């Protein structure tokens, strides 16, 4: 490890070091567990669903990648067709120039 890396690591540790105050720590898992147990003890129904709804905007990476590749392929085909059209136009202009009497 280089001296610069060691110095950086020491700086990071010093800047993050602090006394731990357990009063500031909130254990959400413990709170949810105690709430569930209290409901069970009271004879109330306990939901097996997650408390927070699942996000609806989940991106399926492979589907997004396939769409991206398909779009890129489409743009490439369009670019090649434009290039071929322009090239054909240039060739026809050359043919017209060659056909003209000198």
DSSP-derived letter for residue 100 is S
| Rounded Cα gap, residues 53 and 49, in angstroms | 9
Q: What is the pTM of this model?
A: 0.32
Q: What is the pLDDT of residue 95?
A: 64
Q: What is the pLDDT of residues 73-97, one digit of tens each?
A: 888 888 888 888 877 767 676 666 6
Would you say 9 and 2 are in contact if contact means Cβ atoms under 8 Å apart?
no
What are the residue ranges spanned by the domains of the chain?
Answer: 58-102
Q: What is the pLDDT of residue 35?
A: 92
Q: What is the pLDDT of residues 3-59, one digit of tens each?
A: 888 899 989 888 888 888 888 888 999 998 999 999 999 999 888 776 676 777 777
């Amino acid at each position: 490890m280089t001296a610069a890396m060691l110095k950086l690591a020491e700086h990071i540790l010093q800047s993050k070091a602090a006394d731990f105050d357990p009063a500031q720590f909130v254990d959400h898992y413990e709170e949810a567990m105690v709430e569930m147990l209290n409901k069970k003890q009271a004879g109330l129904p306990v939901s097996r669903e997650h408390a927070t709804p699942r996000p609806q905007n989940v991106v399926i990476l492979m589907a997004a990648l396939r769409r991206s590749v398909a779009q890129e392929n489409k743009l490439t085909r369009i670019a090649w067709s434009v290039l071929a059209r322009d090239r054909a136009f240039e060739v026809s202009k050359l043919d017209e120039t060659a056909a003209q009497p000198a």
